[in-house]
């Protein structure tokens, strides 16, 4: 009788041990188990999408006031960041350029940051924008009125621009102009992803209901979207699409009604294309995260509502060698940062440096 070398006596125990090991590795490496959960559940949340559409709805030359068609070159970056900005937000753009947006390499990868805008109300403002574009070479401007209600058009424009003029970038991120982005941490994270599975990464909103009040800026009539809740989608303050995911979203746009806000629209397009969002707790919401070197320098990918002084200070924290966190801080990860934000909110200190609501 031949002895069996490895009798599969307790397959369930082995499976549990394996899963436990994976969870531990994920917790230690990323400071959060949520990404592991998304990775494990991903195949069940969204199926394979339709094949890449042969003719993507790319914007024609007439779609742009400032097309800036060469801005991605001469070699496409690994990560292209498109910042949704408004014509009047000159100071916000300056703060981004002076911090993370000025970097051409981050986390060992080539990166490029550009600003996406619509048209201002006056010729004088347009002339100012053209001077700014000439000086910095980082503006992409669409031919539509730059209004809050047109933010969805801005997202369509920036996705179209990326597909038309930067198709070789491996990832495209869309962020708002009051967001601090930890480019090195994000680029490292993206580069370490195994395999080419399409990615739609951000802070996932669950089971959000459409607003049915006609006076609300995000009003979605039942005739346009009858269901009681939107599919899962990534918060619009900061999200990342892999090249293929961005193409799929763009390919879905002719089939999906233009609803506001833009992040819901992208979520609807992603759903149409069979793309499930991946949640990351490291993409932070609008809580007041105090300027903690470990949170800003290493743990969080993005923080919303960061003023110009904090933007520069936070960017300096990403340059700490070997890292900004102690071992204990790293193990506590996002949890510790959320605790700090909670304390800040409880004491009512708030950030003195945030942008005034406009």
Ligand X SMILES: *[C@@H]1O[C@H](CO)[C@@H](O)[C@H](O)[C@H]1NC(C)=O
Which parts of this chain interact with ligand X (CB under 6 A)? 144-145, 147, 149-150
Q: Closest distance between ligand X and the C-beta of residue 253, in Å?
A: 16
State the CB neighbour count (10 A cutoff) for residue 321.
5
Q: Closest distance between ligand X and the C-beta of residue 40, in Å?
A: 42
Which of 149/335 has CB closer to ligand X? Answer: 149
Neighbouring residues of 63: CB distance < 8 A, sequence distance ≥ 6: 142, 143, 157, 160
State the CB neighbour count (10 A cutoff) for residue 357.
5
Q: Closest distance between ligand X and the C-beta of residue 143, in Å?
A: 7
Q: Closest distance between ligand X and the C-beta of residue 96, in Å?
A: 25
Which of 149/349 has CB closer to ligand X? Answer: 149
Q: Closest distance between ligand X and the C-beta of residue 145, in Å?
A: 4
The pairing of beta strand 109-119 with beta strand 105-106: antiparallel
Which of 56/151 has CB closer to ligand X? Answer: 151
Burial class (CB in 10 A: 0-12, 13-18, 19+), 70: exposed
Which of 142/251 has CB closer to ligand X? Answer: 142
Which of 3/214 has CB closer to ligand X? Answer: 214
Which of 90/149 has CB closer to ligand X? Answer: 149
Largest interatomic CA distance in the chain? 91
What's the CA gap between 312 and 164, in Å, rounded?
Answer: 32
What's the CA gap between 236 and 85, in Å, rounded?
Answer: 13
Cis amide bond preceding 255, omega within 30: no
Q: Give the phi and the psi of residue 221 in degrees, each rounded to 5.
A: -65, 145
Q: Closest distance between ligand X and the C-beta of residue 147, in Å?
A: 3
Q: Give the phi and the psi of residue 340 in degrees, each rounded to 5.
A: -60, -40
């Amino acid at each position: 009788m031949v002895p069996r070398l490895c009798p599969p006596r307790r397959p369930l125990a082995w499976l549990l041990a394996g899963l436990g090991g994976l969870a531990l590795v994920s917790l230690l490496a990323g400071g959060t188990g949520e990404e592991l959960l998304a990775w494990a559940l991903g195949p069940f949340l969204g199926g394979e999408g339709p094949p890449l559409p042969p003719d993507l709805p790319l914007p024609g030359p007439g779609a742009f006031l400032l097309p800036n068609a060469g801005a991605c070159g001469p070699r496409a970056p690994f990560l292209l960041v498109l910042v949704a900005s408004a014509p009047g937000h000159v100071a916000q753009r300056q703060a981004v350029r002076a911090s993370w947006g000025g970097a051409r390499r981050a986390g060992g990868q080539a990166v490029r940051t550009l600003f996406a805008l619509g048209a201002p109300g006056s010729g004088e403002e347009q002339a100012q924008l053209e001077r700014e574009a000439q000086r910095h070479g980082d503006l992409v401007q669409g031919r539509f009125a730059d209004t809050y209600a047109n933010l969805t058009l801005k997202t369509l424009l920036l996705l179209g621009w990326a597909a038309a003029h930067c198709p070789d970038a491996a990832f495209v991120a869309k962020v708002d102009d009051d967001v601090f982005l930890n480019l090195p941490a994000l680029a490292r994270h993206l580069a370490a992803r195994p395999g080419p599975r399409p990615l739609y990464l951000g802070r996932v909103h669950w089971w959000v209901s459409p607003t049915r009040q006609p006076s609300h800026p995000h009003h979605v009539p039942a005739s346009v979207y009858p269901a009681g809740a939107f599919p899962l989608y990534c918060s619009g303050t900061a999200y990342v699409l892999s090249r293929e995911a961005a193409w799929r979203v763009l390919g879905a746009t002719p089939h999906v009604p233009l609803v506001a806000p833009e992040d819901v629209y992208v979520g609807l397009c992603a759903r149409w294309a069979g793309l499930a969002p991946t949640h990351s707790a490291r993409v932070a919401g609008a809580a007041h995260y105090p300027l903690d070197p470990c949170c800003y320098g290493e743990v969080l990918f993005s923080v919303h509502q960061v003023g110009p002084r904090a933007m520069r200070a936070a960017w300096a924290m990403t340059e700490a060698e070997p890292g900004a966190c102690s071992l204990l801080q790293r193990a506590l990860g996002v949890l510790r940062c959320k605790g700090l934000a909670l304390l800040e909110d409880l004491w009512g200190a708030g950030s003195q440096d945030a942008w005034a609501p406009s």
